[in-house]
Homo-oligomer: A and B are copies of this chain.
Amino acid sequence: MSSSHNKHALSWRRLYLSRAKLKAASRTSALLSGFAMVAMVEVQLEKSTPESLLIAFSVTTTLLVAVHMLALLISTCILPNIEAVSNVHNVNAVLESPHDQMNCYIQMAWAFSTGIGILLFLAEIALLCWVKFSMYSYYAALASTVLIVPVVVLLIGFAIHFYRQLVSHKYERSNRDIEELENMATQLDNHMNASNIQNV
């Protein structure tokens, strides 16, 4: 009984985590791709801008918007099903929610919009500085790129560290869960033996 209750509680927590991740993914990528699109429409190109820069700018903006659309599609498809379940005040309703089945898509939407999305956005800023400043000052454009590189390294470092801590946190937690289960099993055994003895 208690263990089925625990399984439900864990499933609800995963449901809330999935919901929060999908919401964060959709909000983040809406913001980033919105800025990228406005920047592309409003920036003034010049005949003197080198073609390689234009290709890089076009590719980055398109990728940024495409990644956002993927995250948005996944989020709009799965979120209503999760929210419909989370509004029902019934502990068993969690079994009807598709968040465990669709978990890989939820992770993908989240990783795309935060991980890849933020790296692409930093690349977009560096390229925008080249498009905007390169015909006035070469060093102004270069300075921006030079600054972006350590930030990208820092971000990737944080992402890796965060991922490892999360994994070790989960590992620790599941170890603790297993120990608890073993304790429960031995207690149950003792209890059953005790009651058997009583019945005898």
Q: Give chain A's interface residues, CB within 8 Å of chain B.
A: 9, 12-14, 16-17, 19-21, 23-25, 28, 30-31, 34-35, 37-43, 45, 47, 49, 51, 54-55, 57-59, 61-63, 65-66, 69-70, 72-74, 76-81, 83-85, 87-88, 90, 93, 96, 98, 101-102, 105, 110, 113-114, 118, 121-122, 125-126, 128-129, 132-133, 136-137, 139-141, 143-144, 147-148, 151, 154-155, 158-159, 162, 165-166, 169, 173
Contact = CB atoms under 8 A, between A and B. Distances in A.
A104 to B, nearest CB: 11
Nearest to A141: B58
23 contacts: A12-B88, A13-B93, A14-B84, A16-B83, A24-B80, A25-B76, A31-B34, A45-B136, A51-B140, A54-B136, A58-B133, A58-B137, A59-B143, A59-B147, A66-B122, A70-B158, A76-B113, A77-B159, A78-B162, A98-B165, A98-B166, A98-B169, A105-B158
A54 B132 CA distance: 10
A132 B13 contact: no
A80 B158 CA distance: 17
Contacts of A34: 31, 35
Given A41-B38, A122-B69, A151-B69, A13 B84 contact: yes
